Structure 1
Amino acid sequence: MSVFPGIDEIAPAYMDEAFDKNIPQERIYGQSKPDPENIKHHDVNALATGWLAEFNNALADVKADPAGLDKFLLPHTIWKDHLSLQLDLRDFIGPDKIKDQLVKSVDKIGHFELDKQADYRYPTGVALQTIHPEGPHGEAPIEWIFLYLKYATDYGIGRGSIKLISVKDEAAPIGLKALSIYTVLDEFTKVPERAGKKRPLGANHGENVARKTWLEKRQEEQDYKGEHQPLCVIVGGGQGGLTIAARMKAFGYNTLVVESNNRIGDNWRKRYKFLSLHDPFYYHKLPYIHSDMSPMYSSKDQFAEFLECYAKMLELNVWTNTTVTGAEFDESKGEWEVTVKNNSTSDVKKLHPKHVVFCTGHSGEPNVPKFPDEDKFQGEIVHSSKHTSGANYEGKRALVIGACNSAHDIAQDFYEQGIKEVTMLQRSSTCVISSHFGVKINCRDVFDENGPDIDTADLLLHNNPIYLTNLLMQQQYRESSKADASMLEGLKKAGFQTNAGMGGTGLFGLYYRRGSGYYIDVGCSKLIIDGKVKVKHSTVKRFTETGVELNDGSVIDNLDIVVKATGYSNMKDTARDVFGHKVSDKLNPVWNLDEEGEFRSIWRPSGHPNFWFMGGNLAMARYYSKRLALQIIGQEEGF
């Protein structure tokens, strides 16, 4: 059984039920023989320190002697690198590719040290992590020694981790080999992140002839004309646009956020009335500023207010009520001409940034399927993006087409606001986890009150190559499905079909590949189980004057409102609508995973020069905004 990324790792088949076994031994140890006694009878700190010292020596000699690394690596070792060895998001799979890359760029990381400040729970920078103990029939434990790393060179400052497994191999230093290695660049040495201890002074003390106030400087900074132009025009002022703007500002670069809504946060304010975040506060912190008084699960209006305050407190340059109407790229100059229009005055301006960052949400435009005979229906048909409140339909009958997060939220809203009858039309099965059990299990010891600081939490989330991510997600979903067993059984009895995600990896596996296909239960599952929200499993054949006929021959009749909770298109489609075919034809598809297990085209080169996609949930926006900022800076500074 191969552990390298292949179709079974990148796009595994759906599983109806959770993967019901521990991680197979061969997926971790490969063909090597495990040696748990080595870890059991030695101090892990001494083992880790000794191994890292020898590994650093081998790295120092790798250009002259790349084969010297072989004794540290397994045939299936993967080095996952986010910008430390090269300016992209890459996974170097197997010793040969690892050595080839290190020969080119090992000087960018140089010498690793244990990071003793990374996680308060492990003051030595070393942790023994046991996923499964020794099995009842002598199966080797699934465990590794986890090393928190840091490095600093003339090139940059970064962090990372190594997972060491114990094997019986005479060549292995101290009996340990690297299962996976992860490195991530945090800043270029010559372009420090001006935050925390490196924050700007602000006040300019002393004699200042023709001194200007802070307000005057802010007004000049946002008045783009002549030679004064932003380095980046950021299209969209949601969490994606604001986080990349915040990162670029922290590194000292001028950017402009162009938002078509009247206010920052309107992309949340204008959504359905009772929307709230389904992820806990610890998961969705934004860079530089968060409130310890924030509720665990913010409502959409609370979060909208926070985003507006965030933009003001970080002094981000924002033009609201302004729409990007087109853009042309001059390859000879490496410069865009971006046309924007004020929605109120219709005034048109042209901007000349080096980069365009497209931040309209990774889901793209609403996916609004057309069904036969819709024009005959005498009620109302809307997409979920246009739904406001079920209170507008009190005493009436509703159908919600779809069965993921938005569909559940809207169905629950209809029921709670006094609609006479609401039915959810489930066209395919849905992965369901509860907020109470499932989310806590997925976030446990990382994004919770006992977890480390947010940068370390992000390191723990992103440090695994895809095959390890899959294996760990399988075990998480296995555990959460047991905790959610009564809910899942109740849904099944009610006729609602569930699945365990792609390859049994649950919600996160679906999010990484599709961005949809799941529901985090915050109340609607109980309504379905109790029959308060009805479920029908089929597809629409056609509309009638008063309802819909389904392909199983049944009819849902006497409907007043139909909501299409049918998701969104690819982000590339939205870019085509804004920039036209000349730009979009060069863009690659966005989201899902490439052959190495990294996300395609988002937060990294898009296919078109100086055009970048930025999006994702709050945790993704937080982590990848810095990675994207560093790629733009690296290109501009010629690093």
Structure 2
Amino acid sequence: MLNVRQFVSSDAQNFIVITNHNNIYQYYLPNMSVFEGCNEISAPCEDKAFDKDIPQEKIYGSFRPDPENIKHHDINALAHAWLAEFNRALSTVKTNPDELDKFFMPHTVWKDHLGLTLDLRSFIGPQKIKDQLVKTFNKKVGKFEIDKLADHRNPTGVVLQTIHPEGADGKAPIEWITLYLKYKTDYGVGKGLIRLVSVHDETKATPIGLKALSVFTLLNEFTPVPELVGRNRPVGASHGENIERKTWLEKRFEEQDYKEGHQPMAVIVGGGQGGLTVAARLKSYGYNVLIVDANQRVGDNWRQRYKFLSLHDPFYYHKLPYIHMDTSPMYSSKDQFANFLECYARMLELNIWMNTTVNDATFDETTKTWEVKVTNNSTSDVKILKPKYLVFATGHSGEPNVPKFPNQDVFQGEIVHSSKHTSGANYAGKKALVIGACNSAHDIAQDFYEQGAKDVTMLQRSSTCVISSANGLSVITRDVYDKNGPEIDTADLLFQSNPLYLTNLLMQQQYRESSKMDAAMLEGLAKRGFKTNSGSGACGLFSLYYRRGSGYYIDVGCSKLIIEDKVHVKRSSVKRFLPRGVEFEDGSVIDDVDIVVLATGYSNMKETAQNLFGDKVADKLKPIWGLDEEGELKTIWRDSGHENFYYMGGNLALARYFSKRLALRIIAKEEGFD
């Protein structure tokens, strides 16, 4: 059942929200048509790419673009003059907020990561922006300055970015001036980014000048708690006379030997990239934290996955904080990356108890501390830890989703979830069925074929967004996460700075471009009956990752196998299992099946927490992942719903970026900065 609600906000933003179970579809009505079709929180997938340039009204609204202003003036002078006026207006925001109106478009979005609210927020439209600034600006953000050191490619800190050039027919370009920002407050240091567009009034009779299309503010550090890196790095050895001197190794043992009176500030459950990065961040600010992981070795969460898994994302995208391996291959194998994580933990001297299981955790409402029960899997020794904060970093995907099919118990072959698959070599000369059609399903189907399975079929139950690693990823990451991109912190600043509607518009164009480059592959898949889509709202791969965490495949070889019919495609659903095969809803049967792999994804991370900590904790936890009404990811790295409990997860790039945001959020609470 669809529930429809219509709202008119205080700033005359009229929109409809349609909810269907857990999905939210947000549609802006004509008086805010700039957002229409490009700000959906969970838009349906489109079969085809959006085959037009970004419509001018999506950027300029009811104004007219004024490219002549940019052509005939120095953009640095324009930017500095605009920012000086903007700073003056901001300095009086509490007494005269309406002075800011001349700087904003009706659809301007101020996106903020911990700068204004110590949360991840997007304030849509001038009125919501002003309301928030009146509450917090002078306290949270000071005067903006242009940051000339942010991007080595743009030493003035100001750059003109052209998305669509001026048309041959005189059609105005889609372009904006980007300003890299820095700012200071009484207690912190931040970065930011503003995108400015040049406009006329609606009749094109009166030049208006520059207006902000979007503003992004990012808290980077609390001044009283500096990050102990670079010039602030620890001294290390203590020179001179030191009675009862202890070695570095002795100090490390003491640091990790938690007893009464010596407890970690935070216990991090899970030692994958999420747990390691947030532990590294907190350690770099001087806090003692402990990672607890049930695996034998750091990196086992990658090491134990299927044999031929490799990272699908290029090196420039998946760097981790503090240590950059410039000799790393562009696409690491899972074992290479597992070994890197193990080295990463050692080099950063992270406190980790491996081979240790968390059995229970309870929160004391009086002392505001956790009591975490852990067991050493080898010795069965039980210890009680009493941290103030609990960070749940078991992976945002949660537990394996293992569906049950009719008559499954009569099947004489083997059924495994993709998380338990090791190598197709065990099934050489045999017949394999892979249920699912996203990354893992493709990798495993390719593995079966390459290892000599006599017949491999992929069961596709719904369409999949497919991009090639060679073409699709190169377009998505171009000039940000590639060899021509800026330093990684600036790359993250650029990537995170776009509000949802602008992200969607740009991703529509990226997928449009990459789908043309991938046309032969997509056509070949269609001929084999493999159904593809263009992502949520035709916005490509990332639109699905942020909304669902799945639904896509980055092609590293399996698409060619499908096109050549070396991996067969079946489009239907399972009706029931047979003793030696599977019958489908369309009435067809695959006989003599030896192995069925369920590449059926994972459940919500909240379910993992519930299984581990019980209902008392889980009942307070909010749903996780997907986009909220402002276009920010829900719950993860934010308020979980339970005091002093935080979720940590995401792919490698998100782990890198949001580990710092979560660390700063915990520090704010610990030090009373909130």
- Whichever residue aligns with residue 41 of structure 1, its letter is H
Deviation at 1:5, TM superposition (A): 8.7
- Whichever residue aligns with residue 600 of structure 1, its letter is K
- Whichever residue aligns with residue 373 of structure 2, its letter is T
**Pairs within 5 Å for 1:534-613:** 534-613=568-647
**Pairs within 5 Å for 1:465-480:** 465-480=499-514
| 1:206 match | 240
> 1:551/1:572 Cα in 2 relative to 1: closer, same or farther (>3 Å)?
same
Structure 1 position 71 matched with structure 2 position 102: yes
The answer to whether the Cα contact below 8 Å between 1:51 and 1:173 also exists between their aligned partners in 2 is: no
| 2:226 match | 192
| 1:21 match | 52
Q: Pick the aligned partner of 2:311 from 247, 259, 277.
A: 277
The answer to whether the Cα contact below 8 Å between 1:366 and 1:385 also exists between their aligned partners in 2 is: yes
Greater Cα shift, 494-503 or 130-139 = 130-139
| 2:373 match | 339
Compare relative contact order (CA 8 Å, sep 6+) and give the higher one, 1 or 2.
Answer: 1
| 1:426 match | 460
| 1:449 match | 483
Deviation at 1:196, TM superposition (A): 1.4
- Whichever residue aligns with residue 100 of structure 2, its letter is L
Deviation at 1:99, TM superposition (A): 1.2
**Pairs within 5 Å for 1:221-300:** 221-300=255-334
Deviation at 1:59, TM superposition (A): 1.1
Q: Pick the aligned partner of 1:150 from 153, 175, 182.
A: 182
The answer to whether the Cα contact below 8 Å between 2:188 and 2:220 also exists between their aligned partners in 1 is: yes
CA RMSD of aligned residues (A): 1.4
| 2:348 match | 314
The answer to whether the Cα contact below 8 Å between 2:115 and 2:190 also exists between their aligned partners in 1 is: yes
- Whichever residue aligns with residue 279 of structure 2, its letter is A
Deviation at 1:14, TM superposition (A): 1.0
Greater Cα shift, 167-176 or 99-108 = 167-176
> 1:178/1:213 Cα in 2 relative to 1: closer, same or farther (>3 Å)?
same
| 2:115 match | 84
The answer to whether the Cα contact below 8 Å between 1:257 and 1:318 also exists between their aligned partners in 2 is: yes
Distance 1:516 1:198 in 2: 40
Distance 1:346 1:171 in 2: 80
Structure 1 position 44 matched with structure 2 position 36: no
Q: TM-score, normalised by structure 2?
A: 0.93
- 2:122 is paired with a residue of what secondary structure? strand
- 1:505 is paired with a residue of what secondary structure? coil
Matched-pair identity in %: 73
Structure 1 position 512 matched with structure 2 position 546: yes
Distance 2:442 2:61 in 1: 43
| 2:251 match | 217
The answer to whether the Cα contact below 8 Å between 1:593 and 1:599 also exists between their aligned partners in 2 is: yes
The answer to whether the Cα contact below 8 Å between 2:48 and 2:534 also exists between their aligned partners in 1 is: yes
Render the CA deviation track for 1:215-251: whole Å, top value 9, x for unaligned.
Answer: 1111010001101111110000000000000000001
Structure 1 position 621 matched with structure 2 position 655: yes
Q: Pick the aligned partner of 2:148 from 116, 120, 123.
A: 116
Q: Pick the aligned partner of 2:393 from 359, 382, 385.
A: 359
Deviation at 1:22, TM superposition (A): 0.7
- Whichever residue aligns with residue 240 of structure 2, its letter is G
Distance 2:670 2:208 in 1: 44
Render the CA deviation track for 1:54-88: whole Å, top value 9, x for unaligned.
Answer: 11111111122111111111111110000011110
Distance 1:278 1:197 in 2: 35
- 1:9 is paired with a residue of what secondary structure? coil
Deviation at 1:136, TM superposition (A): 4.3
Distance 1:173 1:227 in 2: 68
Structure 1 position 159 matched with structure 2 position 191: yes
- 1:284 is paired with a residue of what secondary structure? coil
Distance 1:32 1:138 in 2: 17
- Whichever residue aligns with residue 157 of structure 2, its letter is G
**Pairs within 5 Å for 1:349-498:** 349-498=383-532
| 2:136 match | 105
Render the CA deviation track for 1:161-187: whole Å, top value 9, x for unaligned.
Answer: 000000115999970000000000111
Structure 1 position 61 matched with structure 2 position 95: no
Deviation at 1:101, TM superposition (A): 1.4
| 2:66 match | 35
- 2:297 is paired with a residue of what secondary structure? coil
The answer to whether the Cα contact below 8 Å between 2:416 and 2:596 also exists between their aligned partners in 1 is: yes
Greater Cα shift, 110-119 or 403-412 = 110-119
Deviation at 1:7, TM superposition (A): 9.3
Structure 1 position 139 matched with structure 2 position 171: yes
The answer to whether the Cα contact below 8 Å between 2:45 and 2:538 also exists between their aligned partners in 1 is: yes
Distance 1:157 1:6 in 2: 36
The answer to whether the Cα contact below 8 Å between 2:199 and 2:208 also exists between their aligned partners in 1 is: no
Greater Cα shift, 131-140 or 615-624 = 131-140
Distance 2:100 2:366 in 1: 43
> 1:180/1:609 Cα in 2 relative to 1: closer, same or farther (>3 Å)?
same
The answer to whether the Cα contact below 8 Å between 1:398 and 1:561 also exists between their aligned partners in 2 is: yes
Q: Which stretches of structure 1, 4 residues or more, deviate above 2 A after TM superposition?
A: 1-8, 134-140, 169-174
Deviation at 1:139, TM superposition (A): 3.1
- Whichever residue aligns with residue 488 of structure 2, its letter is I
The answer to whether the Cα contact below 8 Å between 1:342 and 1:348 also exists between their aligned partners in 2 is: yes
Deviation at 1:290, TM superposition (A): 1.8
- Whichever residue aligns with residue 197 of structure 2, its letter is I
Distance 1:518 1:6 in 2: 21
Deviation at 1:153, TM superposition (A): 2.2
The answer to whether the Cα contact below 8 Å between 1:5 and 1:596 also exists between their aligned partners in 2 is: no
- Whichever residue aligns with residue 18 of structure 1, its letter is A
- 2:416 is paired with a residue of what secondary structure? strand
Q: Pick the aligned partner of 2:563 from 522, 525, 529.
A: 529
Distance 1:449 1:47 in 2: 30
The answer to whether the Cα contact below 8 Å between 2:179 and 2:195 also exists between their aligned partners in 1 is: yes
Distance 2:287 2:275 in 1: 15
Distance 1:95 1:363 in 2: 36
| 1:168 match | 200
> 1:490/1:259 Cα in 2 relative to 1: closer, same or farther (>3 Å)?
same
Structure 1 position 634 matched with structure 2 position 665: no
Distance 1:335 1:4 in 2: 44
Distance 1:214 1:275 in 2: 38
- Whichever residue aligns with residue 100 of structure 1, its letter is D
Render the CA deviation track for 1:26-81: whole Å, top value 9, x for unaligned.
Answer: 11111112111111111111111110111111111112211111111111111000
| 2:17 match | none
The answer to whether the Cα contact below 8 Å between 2:39 and 2:504 also exists between their aligned partners in 1 is: no
Deviation at 1:206, TM superposition (A): 2.1
Greater Cα shift, 62-71 or 187-196 = 62-71
The answer to whether the Cα contact below 8 Å between 1:25 and 1:139 also exists between their aligned partners in 2 is: no
- 1:436 is paired with a residue of what secondary structure? coil
Distance 1:106 1:515 in 2: 34
Deviation at 1:516, TM superposition (A): 0.4
